């Protein structure tokens, strides 16, 4: 009993001061930040101001349900920058939500997300193709922006008091492996960060320099960023200087388009999207009518690193009357547009309801519909320039295609916006292009799925189609396995896989019908005998052996039986440890015109058996499957090679 009690009391007791080691990931990151990032260091200020602004947004939101949290400030939020020349320190202070003891440790000592690893990786990539200037810029994108303070400071102190708490805490570190957390007594609400600047970073004590940095990177911050009068006894001139607001301090999205420059849009995009590239597209509008809202949305140029992570946050922030509500709200953006970043602000949404209830609010749904409509319209306009549009498609097409099965209402529109690699053209083609080029007698839109477009183009299943000049869409995104069966048709034409058994190509007119082909045609009886021999030899290894019209150059290929899952999908599911259901029925198709197949008519016994298995293994390899018995395969192949070489 006593034991339990003491253990419990030990657990609840927070030491007044303690030193802890950084999580290994953070230590590694800090080492890099401190020792190798020297250019573009000014972005530390952007990161700290961005955190301060987030902290104020969060308190403003929390105060909606608990106004006491605001204490006596009545919601006047601001970020103060203080310069102390004699002690060479720069402070950045906010009156936002603050951090308590545990939050200081968790937020400034560990990284919850996979931030560091990804950041380090991207540094490596960026280094190989350019200078360092670009490198540091990425830091905010990976949720590790705070640590950029150590680029300019060799000692950082963070004094923070969480809104609603009586006492504050100090976090301090020199960035070398460990940090200390100690009780700070009655600190002001919010967070004050003091940077003891490195010798070579004293430029950041200059007013003009700070003015320029804030203007460049943080002008769009909706709170005032105020430079406090400089404390410097030796400098009499500055003694009665006034506090100076360095930024415009108004919500950028509420301005009209012609009040915002391209650079301001870009900086805002960097802030809101935690991004560093140029926006590929900017959409800014005020919707009026039944529902009023303002949207400022960006489509990035580059694919964000975490686009496919399931736990990834949304990047469109919802504001209600300039009050930040959430950037995690499902229902604000359709999932297939999750690469979009930006801000939506509406005064028509209720403020005092939970996020969960907001998610299902019919007004939110209407806003989503409005946003989707505008974005798709803009995409349609930009698709007029195929090269420009291709850049978008290469980056986000795989995500966008999720909409083909998720957004039933806009399916036709999305199909028109989709682009594909195809056997019929070098670049990307649209379904409109495809259907306009369809052959006489061709009823379906033919496609093939697999791992790479290059392999698909050379696959035996597509051979016969290509030989006849029939265009085949080459679908190499995993998502393609899922949308095609759901969509089923485009413009009343069915999608049909060339890798499915039972495709009859004879109805389609070839580009140029080959002459004298009939001569090659083996007797029906002969080929039926070959089929029977192969079936007997292969037994259970295949579901069936059939004569095919799809092959021209290859002797055999594997296809999935009609109506079943494609071989590629089955392989994908298996790779991901998913249960693909009952084993898929594979059919070996043979090319009756191929000399090798014809020769099989006159062999039997072991030679036939070996040839049958070699042909099946060969088909498996071409299909991208593993050979189930590599030793037997090698033995048979060697035997055949030996014969071939000696004769
Ligand atoms: P990010 O801002 O992307 O989450 P950072 O490294 O910039 O990553 O900050 C880490 C975390 O530290 C923030 O998510 C936040 O919880 C906390 N934090 C940083 N600065 C402040 C601040 N001024 N006030 C309150 N919390 C802060
Ligand atoms: Mg940050």
Q: How many helices, marked H, and strands, marked E, lie in the chain?
A: 22, 23
Structure token digits, residue 264: 């301001």
Question: Pairing mode, if any, of strands 341-346 and 316-320?
Answer: parallel
Chosen domain end from 359, 394, 429: 394
In short, whether 148's Cβ falls inside 6 Å of ligand 1 is no
Both 507 and 552 in one domain: the answer is no
The residue among 313, 308, 379, 376 whose CA lies nearest residue 341 is 313
| C-alpha of residue 640 to centroid of ligand 1, in Å | 67
Q: Cα–Cα distance between 603 and 487 in angstroms, integer?
A: 47
Amino acid 646: pLDDT: 76
Phi first, then psi: what are they for 44, rounded to 5°? -55, -35
The residue among 589, 482, 498, 499 whose CA lies nearest residue 545 is 589
Q: Dihedral angle at the C-alpha atoms of 176, 179, 180, 186, nearest 10 degrees?
A: 120
Q: Cα–Cα distance between 84 and 230 in angstroms, integer?
A: 7
Asked whether the CA dihedral 494, 499, 504, 509 is positive or negative, the reply is positive
Q: Which atom of ligand 1 lies nearest, measured to the CA of 140?
A: 3
Question: Pairing mode, if any, of strands 473-475 and 445-449?
Answer: parallel
Both 478 and 538 in one domain: the answer is no
Phi first, then psi: what are they for 9, rounded to 5°? -70, -30
| C-alpha of residue 186 to centroid of ligand 1, in Å | 22
In short, whether 107's Cβ falls inside 6 Å of ligand 1 is yes
Local structure of 303: helix, strand or coil? coil
In short, whether 118's Cβ falls inside 6 Å of ligand 1 is no
Both 314 and 351 in one domain: the answer is yes
Query: The domain spanning residue 81 has which CATH number?
Result: 3.30.565.10
Tell whether 575 is covered by a domain: no
Asked whether the CA dihedral 395, 398, 399, 405 is positive or negative, the reply is positive
The residue among 434, 445, 330, 430 whose CA lies nearest residue 379 is 430
| Residue 95 DSSP label | -
Amino acid 520: pLDDT: 59
- Counting beta carbons within 10 angstroms of the beta carbon of residue 589, is it exposed (0 to 12), middle (13 to 18) or buried (19 or more)? buried
Residue 53 CA: which ligand is closest? Answer: 1
> Model pTM?
0.74
| C-alpha of residue 184 to centroid of ligand 1, in Å | 19
Structure token digits, residue 193: 């960060």
| C-alpha of residue 22 to centroid of ligand 1, in Å | 16
Q: Cα–Cα distance between 619 and 627 in angstroms, integer?
A: 10
Amino acid 43: pLDDT: 84
The residue among 156, 50, 152 whose CA lies nearest residue 108 is 156
Amino acid 27: pLDDT: 87
What does the DSSP assignment read for 30-84?
HHHHHHH--SSTTHHHHHHHHHHHHHHHHHHHHHHH-GGGGTTSTT---EEEEEE
Amino acid 134: pLDDT: 45
Q: Cα–Cα distance between 103 and 114 in angstroms, integer?
A: 18
3-state helix/strand/coil string of 311-326: CCCCCEEEEECCEEEE
Tell whether 506 is covered by a domain: yes
Residue of the CA atom closest to atom 8 of ligand 1 = 143
Both 497 and 530 in one domain: the answer is no
| C-alpha of residue 145 to centroid of ligand 2, in Å | 5
* Residue in this structure with the two tokens 């949308």, named with its chain if needed: 483
| C-alpha of residue 267 to centroid of ligand 2, in Å | 15
Residue of the CA atom closest to atom 18 of ligand 1 = 51
Query: The domain spanning residue 346 has which CATH number?
Result: 3.30.230.80
| C-alpha of residue 46 to centroid of ligand 2, in Å | 9
Tell whether 570 is covered by a domain: no
Both 476 and 542 in one domain: the answer is no
Structure token digits, residue 542: 């295949």
In short, whether 91's Cβ falls inside 6 Å of ligand 1 is no
Both 430 and 296 in one domain: the answer is no
The residue among 40, 95, 53, 47 whose CA lies nearest residue 71 is 95
Q: Give the chain's residues under pLDDT 70.
A: 1-12, 36, 38, 74-75, 112-120, 122-143, 231-240, 306, 308-314, 352-353, 501-503, 509-522, 562-564, 579-583, 647
Both 313 and 457 in one domain: the answer is no
Task: Give the relative orientation of helices 480-487 and 567-575 as an angle to the nearest 10 degrees.
Answer: 130
Length of the chain: 647
Both 501 and 636 in one domain: the answer is no
Both 174 and 280 in one domain: the answer is no
Tell whether 275 is covered by a domain: yes
Q: Cα–Cα distance between 315 and 326 in angstroms, integer?
A: 10
Please name the residues in contact with 362: beta carbons below 8 A apart, sequence gap of 6 or more: none
The residue among 178, 192, 194, 209 whose CA lies nearest residue 41 is 209
Chosen domain end from 214, 229, 247: 247
Structure token digits, residue 496: 């049909």
Residue 115 CA: which ligand is closest? Answer: 1
Residues near ligand 2 ion, CB 5 Å cutoff: 51, 145
Q: Cα–Cα distance between 70 and 76 in angstroms, integer?
A: 9
Query: The domain spanning residue 543 has which CATH number?
Result: 1.20.120.790
In short, whether 55's Cβ falls inside 6 Å of ligand 1 is yes
* Element housing 221 (H / E): none
Amino acid 328: pLDDT: 79
Amino acid 61: pLDDT: 85
| Residue 500 DSSP label | B
Query: The domain spanning residue 452 has which CATH number?
Result: 3.40.50.11260
Tell whether 406 is covered by a domain: no
Tell whether 119 is covered by a domain: yes
Structure token digits, residue 302: 């580059």
| Residue 333 DSSP label | S
Structure token digits, residue 390: 């291709």
Q: Cα–Cα distance between 413 and 427 in angstroms, integer?
A: 21
Q: Would you say 568 and 456 are in contact if contact means Cβ atoms under 8 Å apart?
A: no
Scanning 260-385, the segments in alpha helix (DSSP H) are 262-273, 355-359, 362-382
Both 236 and 279 in one domain: the answer is no
In whole angstroms, what separates CA 415 from the centre of its chain? 21
Residue 147 CA: which ligand is closest? Answer: 1
Both 75 and 200 in one domain: the answer is yes
Number of domains, the chain: 4
Tell whether 77 is covered by a domain: yes
Residue of the CA atom closest to atom 23 of ligand 1 = 52
Task: Give the relative orientation of helices 630-646 and 605-623 as an angle to the nearest 10 degrees.
Answer: 120
Chosen domain end from 394, 427, 444: 394
Q: Dihedral angle at the C-alpha atoms of 540, 546, 550, 553, nearest 10 degrees?
A: 70
Tell whether 407 is covered by a domain: no
Local structure of 627: helix, strand or coil? coil
- To test the pocket of ligand 1, the residue of 60, 115, 146 to mutate (highest count of ligand atoms within 8 Å of its CB) is 146
In whole angstroms, what separates CA 596 from the centre of its chain? 48
Domain containing 279: what range?
254-394
In short, whether 146's Cβ falls inside 6 Å of ligand 1 is yes
Residue of the CA atom closest to atom 4 of ligand 1 = 143
In short, whether 99's Cβ falls inside 6 Å of ligand 1 is yes
Both 427 and 546 in one domain: the answer is no
Structure token digits, residue 105: 């440790």
For the chain, percent helix, then strand, then coil, each to nearest 5?
45, 20, 35
């Amino acid at each position: 009993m006593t034991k339990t009690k003491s253990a419990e009391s030990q657990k609840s007791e927070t030491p007044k001061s303690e030193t802890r080691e950084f999580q290994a990931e953070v230590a590694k990151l800090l080492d890099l930040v401190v020792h190798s990032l020297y250019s573009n260091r000014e972005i530390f200020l952007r990161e700290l101001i961005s955190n301060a602004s987030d902290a104020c947004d969060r308190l403003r939101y929390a105060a909606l349900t608990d106004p006491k949290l605001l204490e006596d400030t009545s919601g006047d939020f601001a970020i103060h920058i203080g310069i102390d020349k004699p002690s060479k320190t720069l402070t950045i202070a906010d009156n936002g939500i603050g951090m308590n003891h545990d939050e200081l440790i968790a937020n400034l000592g560990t990284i919850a997300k996979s931030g560091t690893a990804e950041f380090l990786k991207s540094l490596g990539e960026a280094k190989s193709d350019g200078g360092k200037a670009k490198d540091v810029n990425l830091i905010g994108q990976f949720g590790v922006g705070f640590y950029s303070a150590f680029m300019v400071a060799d000692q950082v102190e963070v004094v923070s008091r969480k809104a609603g708490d009586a006492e504050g805490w100090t976090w301090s570190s020199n960035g070398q492996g460990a940090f200390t957390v100690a009780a700070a007594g009655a600190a002001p609400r919010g967070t004050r960060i003091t940077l003891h600047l490195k010798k070579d970073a004293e430029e950041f004590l200059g007013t003009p320099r700070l003015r320029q940095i804030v203007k460049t990177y943080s002008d769009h911050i909706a709170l005032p960023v105020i430079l406090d009068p400089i404390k410097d006894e030796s400098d009499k001139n500055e003694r009665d200087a006034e506090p100076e607001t360095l930024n415009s301090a108004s919500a950028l999205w509420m301005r009209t388009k012609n009040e915002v420059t391209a650079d301001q849009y870009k900086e805002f995009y960097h802030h809101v999207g935690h991004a560093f590239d140029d926006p590929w597209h900017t959409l800014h509008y005020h919707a009026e009518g039944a529902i009023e809202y303002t949207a400022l949305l960006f489509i990035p140029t580059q694919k964000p690193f975490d686009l496919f992570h399931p736990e990834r946050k949304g990047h469109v922030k919802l504001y209600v009357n300039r009050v930040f509500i959430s950037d995690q709200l499902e229902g604000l953006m359709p999932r297939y547009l999750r690469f979009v970043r930006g801000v939506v602000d509406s005064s028509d949404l209720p403020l005092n309801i939970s996020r969960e209830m907001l998610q299902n609010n019919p007004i939110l749904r209407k806003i989503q519909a409005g946003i989707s409509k505008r974005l798709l319209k803009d995409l349609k306009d930009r698709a007029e320039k195929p090269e420009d549009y291709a850049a978008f498609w290469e980056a986000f097409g795989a995500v966008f295609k999720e909409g083909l099965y998720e957004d039933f209402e806009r399916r036709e529109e999305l199909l028109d916006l989709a682009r594909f690699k195809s056997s019929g053209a070098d670049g990307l083609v649209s379904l409109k292009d495809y259907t306009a080029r369809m052959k006489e007698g061709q009823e379906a839109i033919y496609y093939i799925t697999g791992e790479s477009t290059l392999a698909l183009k050379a696959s035996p299943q597509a051979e016969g189609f290509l030989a006849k000049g029939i265009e085949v869409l080459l679908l190499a995104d995993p998502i393609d396995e899922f949308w095609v069966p759901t969509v089923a048709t485009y413009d009343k034409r069915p999608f049909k896989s060339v890798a499915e058994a039972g495709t009859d190509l004879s109805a389609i007119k070839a580009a140029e019908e080959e002459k004298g082909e009939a001569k090659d045609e083996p007797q029906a009886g002969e080929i039926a005998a070959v089929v029977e021999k192969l079936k007997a030899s292969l037994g259970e290894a295949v579901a069936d052996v059939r004569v095919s019209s799809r092959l021209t150059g290859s002797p055999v290929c594997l296809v999935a039986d009609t109506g079943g899952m494609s071989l590629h999908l089955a392989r994908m599911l298996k790779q991901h440890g998913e249960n693909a259901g009952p084993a898929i029925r594979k059919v070996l198709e043979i090319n009756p015109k191929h000399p090798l197949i014809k020769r099989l008519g006159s062999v039997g016994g072991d030679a036939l058996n070996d040839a049958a298995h070699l042909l099946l293994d060969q088909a498996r390899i071409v299909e991208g499957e593993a050979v189930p018995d590599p030793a037997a395969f090698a033995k048979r192949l060697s035997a055949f090679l030996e014969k071939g070489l000696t004769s």
